[in-house]
Structure 1
Amino acid sequence: MGALRRVELVNLVMFVFSSYIDYRFSEVQPLLEERFGPVDYISKNLDFDKYTYFYNNEMGYKLQGKLISFKNLIHPSELAEIKLTTNKIEELFKVDGKRKINLDPGYIHHTQFVLASTKHWANRIYIGRGIYAEITLMYVNGKFMPLDYTYPNYKDQEYIQELTGIREIYLKKRKEFYR
């Protein structure tokens, strides 16, 4: 029998995407910071429209996103509750029943990038309250590696570079925290 170990805290990360991302992000950032604490990193605008048309009828065209990192580390068990909270925040921005902003929370651990989802699939683990978690990228041999099922945007080097930068920020916070 293995001994139980303390679970390491992780870095809350969110992919925020929308049409008119700069405008929409300026509206939602205060709510996110009120709920999850200060943001310590905001990526450049990342093209999302080139990966899927799935959201266009609901959210419009020319979808772009930002990867953001929060300053405060979280316990990984909080991910389900965080996803439920971001779903409620998305509801606040609906127009005529259609979402105008999408908030995809996850976390970075030094070994992985994990995303939350409301949708079950074979590669996702149920974590409670109707939410599943998916290892989207693994950090192996000094870099993030996508898996067969990884969404195309997270396979893109531009996204991976941003997440690698957030991982570096996390490692510094982690070092301070566990000193």
Structure 2
Amino acid sequence: MAQPIIHNPVQFFVGVIISEMELWDNISRAISSNWGEIEFSSEKVDFDQFTQYYQSEMGTGLTRFWFALEGIRFPDDLIRIKWSCTAIENSLTQDKNRRVNLDPGYITEAKVILASFKDFAHRIYLTEGVYADMQLIWRDGKFIPREWTFADYRSDIAQKFFTRLRETYRRKLKLYIQGELEPIRGGGKIHR
């Protein structure tokens, strides 16, 4: 009979789609004060090349990038980080429109998981309105998209960022297994 095993800690990241880069300093301070420092970021790219999904709300000329949060945490922090990012988004709305979209997620050795408030056939409900959305799986030395994977997560920029993040995570996981690194616990103010 299988016995329950506590999941290893994971490495968290946040995907950013932003209409005005001038907002970034305030956003990064809010995230850092709640969830720790930003360890590194991806290159910034024009999000409009992937989709027009957010244009009616956020306009055109959107910038897309991802950043890694320092340390490792247990995956159940995904719910709190999602709600915290939503509070930051809501604090920056203008005329009821978002100016930033913050999508937190985490990486393991095998996959990239996003948090979502939207249900879909492949998403698994967690709790408090949050679903887990597996965007990428690791196979044969690279991340492989699924049929539902967003276009920006299929890009070379994403592949480069998530491969680097996986390497970083694997180093931290090794230290954790050896007892040399403790996961970060707690943090984050949730405003619903």
- Name the TM tier (shorter chain): over 0.9
Distance 1:142 1:55 in 2: 32
Distance 1:165 1:158 in 2: 11
* Counterpart residue identity of residue 77, structure 1: D
> What's the CA shift for 1:175?
1.5
1:67 aligns with 2:83: no
2:96 maps to 1:127: no
- State the shift of 1:20 in Å: 2.8
Q: How does 1:1-179 map to 2 (within 5 A)?
A: 1-21=1-21, 23-179=22-178
Shift of 1:24: 2.2
> In structure 1, what is the Cα distance between the partners aligned to 2:175 and 2:39?
15
Deviations 1:35-84 (A, max 9, x none): 11111111110221111112112112111122100112111112122111
Q: Which runs of 5+ in 2 are unaligned?
A: 179-192
Q: Which amino acid aligns with 2:115?
A: A
Mean CA deviation greater in 127-136 or 48-57: 48-57
Mapped partners of 2:152, 2:42: distance in 1: 14
Counterpart of 1:171 in 2: which secondary structure?
A: helix
Contact 1:16–1:25 under 8 Å retained in 2: no
Q: How far apart in 1 are the matches of 2:148 and 2:65?
A: 22
Q: Distance in 1 between matches of 2:174 and 2:24?
A: 30
| Contact 2:50–2:152 (8 Å) recurs in 1 | yes
Aligned residues: 178
Is the 2:113–2:135 contact (alpha carbons within 8 Å) kept by the matching residues of 1? yes
CA contact (8 A) 2:93 2:99 kept: yes
- RMSD of aligned alpha carbons: 1.1
Is this contact kept in 1: 2:42–2:157, CA < 8 A? no
For normalisation by structure 1, the TM-score amounts to 0.95
Name the stretch that deviates more: 29-38 or 165-174: 165-174
How far apart are residue 6 of structure 1 and its match? 2.5
CA distance in 1, matches of 2:66, 2:7: 25
Structure of greater relative contact order (alpha carbons < 8 Å, 6+ residues apart): 2
